Structure 1
Amino acid sequence: MLIRYFAWVRERVGLDQETVDLPPSVETVADVIAWLQTVDDAHGHAFADADAIRAALDQVHVETDAAIAGAREIAFFPPMTGG
């Protein structure tokens, strides 16, 4: 799966994107976040506060309980503000 990182998530991970093979047990966005926390120290730091991360599957904003089956891309970013 292609994973994209934006804003401070990208800065902490040190990559703007990467392609990974997720374990079969990873079924939701929350599972992806939990798995990413274990990849290495940079990912662990970026995803330490999972509540501060927003996600999109194939460019559609989703909640963390969303299933990832069939998705080609997941993006992670901090909450956005507007004005």
Structure 2
Amino acid sequence: HDAHLCFPCHSPGQPPPPPPGPPPPPSCSYWYTVQAGQGWYSVSAATGVSVSALQACNPGKVRPPNYWLYTGEKLCIP
């Protein structure tokens, strides 16, 4: 069997096309302000959005190992 491979082509002497950039930021339905004592699960319960979706939309707020949220922090709610 012949293998058919597809590679992007460009003319010699021209730079290759640039790699795709980072994905666009998620669109927020609204911004939620974290209240005292709240964590990912309580914000999820308050907003009706899963923890995984919240964390995917707010990657800069996911802080291992404890994943704490800070009072007054703004979260993007998809």
TM > 0.5 = no
TM-score, normalization: structure 2?
Answer: 0.37
Higher strand share: 1
TM-score, normalization: structure 1?
Answer: 0.35
Q: Indicate the structure (1 or 2) with the bigger Cα radius of gyration.
A: 2
